Structure 1
Amino acid sequence: MMKINHCTFPGDILYDTENFVWADIRRDKRKANIGITSILGYISGKLSVIKLRQVGSYIERGKSFGTLESPRYFGVVRAPISGRIIEVNQAIIDQPELANDSPYAEGWFAKMEISNIEEEIKNLQTIESCYEKMATLIQKHHIICFGAFPDYEMFQIGVECAATLAELDELLEKIAIGNVVHLVSDDTTADLEMVRWSEQTGQSLLETRKEGTLFHFIVKKIK
């Protein structure tokens, strides 16, 4: 695994940086699993609907093989390689958020049969060769990756920490156990207050990060 600005990229797959997709090519079987990168997952937000082309469809590289939908995003997913779809991952149809939570494992999209592996590989890059490009894309799209993908976001700029925590408590009362909240605050005491809040409430503070003047907190409801 390689980390670029906190975003994780496996080292054993190939990337199409223009379309935010990847391919795990198995040369011996002339097949490949394909999916979206964590960058596209964060651009789209928590996915609510994923639609994919049917098994048997032949897709050319760069053409759409599906669509993504979230409360803030709708877009197509473009194939990193040319080939025939031989399997789709029903799990992401049933649970689209898997593509956010585990984009390189459980959240894969489809399996394709490739006719010309050597030709397809020419159009893809290892993470080492596209490191700078990925870093540029993360910066361009203002991507901030975390260990757990947020289900909800709270931006509390110019709000005192006490008021922020009251709103956080209200939100946690409404959401399901296991849901994750990304909280952003510019209160200078927020890091200390969040630790105290976590100890008092028993809720999990998974991650704390400071970017410039802003604190980013990842909170998971566990009770």
Structure 2
Amino acid sequence: MAENMVVESNCEVPEDLYYYIEGKNTVWGKLEGDVMTVGITDVAQTMAGKLVKVRLKKKGVKVDRGRPVATMESGKWAGAVPSPVSGEIVEVNEEVEKSPSLVNQDPYGKGWLVKLKVLNREELKQLYTSSVAVDKVRGLIQSEKIQCKRVT
């Protein structure tokens, strides 16, 4: 388990990430220089259920904040994954397209989706971080009565 990890109802919420939280959509971003790795949270993968399909936008595509970087399907849900910031996709995780369940098994590790070159650093201020992010995710967990589990 990563350092600085809060666990609520079995859901892991790393404190060192950026979070885009819009309704029930919870997306994480990890910034390294100007590149942000993006994925869905443990809460999101639990709510989606076992993923059967992940389609990622192609490398070189520019996306605006809030617009999809990926679409996903499970037996009970289909939807888009919004981008936490405006950026250009510089890398895609082809492994998750081949094995969508990686997102369920390791949402903060092998289940990452895309890497974006951040085009507007000001947008980072609109994302949630550390204890504020944890509180927002905790609120969602409680309101939706979520108990996280890793689907294999």
Same fold (TM over 0.5): yes
Corresponding residue SS for 2:69: strand
RMSD of Structure 2 on Structure 1 (CA): 1.3
What TM-score do you get using the length of structure 2 for normalisation? 0.90
Please identify runs of 4+ aligned residues in structure 1 that moved more than 6 A.
none
Map of 2:73 onto structure 1: 69
Deviations 1:179-221 (A, max 9, x none): xxxxxxxxxxxxxxxxxxxxxxxxxxxxxxxxxxxxxxxxxxx
Map of 1:103 onto structure 2: 107
Q: Does residue 41 of structure 1 match 2:45?
A: yes
Structure 2 unaligned spans of 5+: none
For 2:117 and 2:91, locate their aligned partners in 1 and report how far apart those are by CA, in whole Å: 9
For 1:81 and 1:23, locate their aligned partners in 2 and report how far apart those are by CA, in whole Å: 9
What TM-score do you get using the length of structure 1 for normalisation? 0.63
Letter paired with 1:26: E
Q: Does residue 135 of structure 1 match 2:130?
A: no
Letter paired with 2:46: Y
Map of 1:221 onto structure 2: none
Query: Higher relative CO (CA 8 A, sep ≥ 6), structure 1 or 2?
Result: 2
Deviations 1:90-110 (A, max 9, x none): 110011001011000100000
> Which protein has the larger Cα radius of gyration, Structure 1 or Structure 2?
1
Structure 1 unaligned spans of 5+: 152-223
Map of 1:126 onto structure 2: 129
**Identity fraction in percent:** 35
- Please identify which structure carries the higher strand content: 2
Deviation at 1:130, TM superposition (A): 2.3
For 1:142 and 1:114, locate their aligned partners in 2 and report how far apart those are by CA, in whole Å: 34
Query: Residue 114 and residue 150 in structure 1: after superposition, are their counterparts in 2 closer, same or farther (change >3 A)?
Result: closer
For 1:49 and 1:144, locate their aligned partners in 2 and report how far apart those are by CA, in whole Å: 23
Q: Does residue 93 of structure 1 match 2:104?
A: no
Q: Does residue 2 of structure 1 match 2:6?
A: yes
Equivalent residues, number:
146
For 1:55 and 1:115, locate their aligned partners in 2 and report how far apart those are by CA, in whole Å: 15
Map of 2:56 onto structure 1: 52
